[in-house]
Structures are given as C-alpha cells and as structure tokens.
Structure 1
Amino acid sequence: MPASRDIEILNLINAIVHQATARMQRSLREAEVGLAAMEARTLRFIARHPGCTQSDIVRESGRDKAQIARVIKTLLERDYVRRMPDQAGEKRQRLRMTASGAATHETAEALRATVARDLLADLAAAERAQLEKLLKRIAQAPPSEPD
C-alpha cells in the first residue's frame, strides 16, 4: 500500500477520534454534567482501576504530569475522588471514587454509550465486528522500529 494511502487511513482515524471527542464534549455540556472530556476520561480510568495513582494515569493517558495534576485537583475539589494513603511509609497516594463521583461517572458513561451508538449507527453488526477486529489488531501491534 502506498504511503499516501497509509497517511489517509491515519487521517481518517484522527478525524474519527476528534469527531467522537467533540460529540462527547458537547454531550457533557448539554447534559450539564459539569465535566470536561479529560475529567470524564480520568474518572473512567479511576473507576476501572480503583486505587490507582496519579502516576498511573499519567503513564496510561500519555498526558503530562501537570495536566493530570490539574484534573485530579478539580476532581478532588468536586468530591468525585479521594486520596487514600498507600502502604505505611510510602509517599504515594491512591485514588478512589466517591459516591458522587460514581454517580457522575455513570451519567458520563451513559452519554459515552450514546455517542458511540450514534457514531456507528450506519454500520451493520458484521461491519462493526470487522471494524473492532481490525482496530484491535492495530492497537495490539508492537511499535515499529525507527527508520
């Protein structure tokens, strides 16, 4: 496949990601959930990884420490998450979702499901299965060596 075709595929993937993010941001705003998209993603991570650390979020999100620190600070101020001390003598603090954080996360995830359903509405079930299979294969491919 020519490089220009590969670039076009990458451009399409980026366009879909941006479209999904924009729809999610709009949905969160219209539903007056009070979360930005990055805050919703961080809550999702904490929900899936109870007891994670801020460093875990930085590593998995690819965002810088300062941005994640700001997001965590906002979530703490809104009482969506709490810091729990780690093992005795360790400096790390683990994050746990509060009841209000869980309720907000549930609302955000329902909106996320709607965005996903709308985004894929024109695909038949078999096409969705094929798309999922191909995307998983791409996501699981080992990084290529620099030229």
Structure 2
Amino acid sequence: MRRTSLDNVNRKPLSEAEQVFESIHYLMHLFRSGMYRVLRDGPYKLTHLEGKLLGYFSRHPGSTLGDLAEETGKDKGQLARLIRSLKEQGLLASVEDDTDRRKVKLALTPQGEKIHQMLRKEVSRLSEIAIQGLDAGQRQYLLARLNRIQSNLEESFRGDS
C-alpha cells in the first residue's frame, strides 16, 4: 500500500521533511503491528509499552517503579497501572528487598521471560525482513542518516532547556 503525502486535516501536500517523518511513523506502525501479531492469538494481550517494560525488567531485574520512572521519564501512575497489568497476567512479580521492606523490586516471572524472548525473536525476524535488499553499504548509509536526524533533534531540544 502506498501512502499519500497529504495533510488530511488541511488537505495540503506535506513538505519533504514532513514526508520523511510520516514515512518513519508508518514504518514503525507496520513494525509494531507485526511484532505484536505474534501474541494476538495467545492469552496475553500486551500493548507496545507493556512489551517495552518486559524488556526493561529483563535487562534490569530487581529494579523498582521509581527506577523505571527515572529511566523512562514516564508518569509513575501510568507505569504503576502497566506493572499491575503485567503482574495480573503473571508476567511480572514483586520481590522483597532484604534491606528495605518498603522497597518493592520487580522481576520477570519465567512466563514473562518466555514472552520477552518471543518478542525479541520477532524483532530480529522483522528487522531482517525490513532491510532485505539493502547491501551493507546502504545499511550503513541509512543508519548514518537516521543518526544524523536523531542528533539534529536532540541538539534542538538542548536549546529548549
């Protein structure tokens, strides 16, 4: 399906810069859709952010809600609801802190780790599909251009602080 480069609200053609980001947005939508399709028929109805949390706690077992909020910059209330959902699904568990019983550490359950690994495999599979037909030089060139775009945005945000 070919996307039209049109601002649907104002019915004006998008600028080249807007077309770049419309394309990036659409690519990520396709990628996420494919990634979570693997779970659609299973018992777990995970959102994108819940999948990201599984990844975080897989990489940082024993982290707390506060650690997660600090690293992601997201609202603690929103994160607490997502954590509660993952706990209810049996994918995340609370672990008591030996030194401070007020602290609630979080870690993936074996089932949570299994789901996380399944998502990682799907990310790898879809990533390879997405870059088929690009040789090593083209991949490096694309990565360099995306890094440049990221740097441009990060630099512009530093001026906003």
What range is the shorter-chain TM-score in?
A: 0.7 to 0.9
| Aligned-partner residue type, residue 53 of structure 1 | T
CA contact (8 A) 1:33 1:104 kept: no
Q: In structure 2, list runs of 5 or more residues that go unmatched.
A: 1-13
Cα separation, 2, equivalents of 1:33 and 1:115: 22
Correspondence for 1:102: 113
- 1:34 is matched with which residue: 44, 47, 50? 44
Which residue identity does 1:145 align to in structure 2?
G
The percentage of aligned residue pairs carrying the same residue is: 26
The structure with the largest alpha-carbon Rg is 2
TM-score with structure 2 length normalisation? 0.71
Pick closer, same or farther for the CA change 1:134–1:93 going to 2, 3 Å: farther
Mapped partners of 1:33, 1:110: distance in 2? 18
Q: How far apart, CA to CA, are the structure 2 residues paired with 1:103 and 1:67? A: 24
Determine which of 126, 138, 141 is the counterpart of 1:127: 138
Specify the alignment match of 2:63 in structure 1: 52
1:43-99, Cα deviation, whole Å (9 max, x unpaired): 011111222222333344454333322221122123322222346347332211222
Q: What amino acid maps onto 1:114 in structure 2? A: R
In the other structure, the counterpart of 1:145 is 159
* TM-aligned CA distance change 1:29 to 1:134, over 3 Å: same
Shift of 1:15: 1.7
Q: Where does the alignment leave 5 or more consecutive residues of structure 1 unmatched?
A: none
Deviation at 1:41, TM superposition (A): 1.4
Distance of 2:29 and 2:19 partners within structure 1: 15
The one-letter amino acid paired with 1:96 is A
Tell me the distance in 2 between the aligned counterparts of 1:122 and 1:62. Answer: 37
Give TM-score, length-normalised by structure 1: 0.76
The code of the aligned residue for 1:24 comes to M
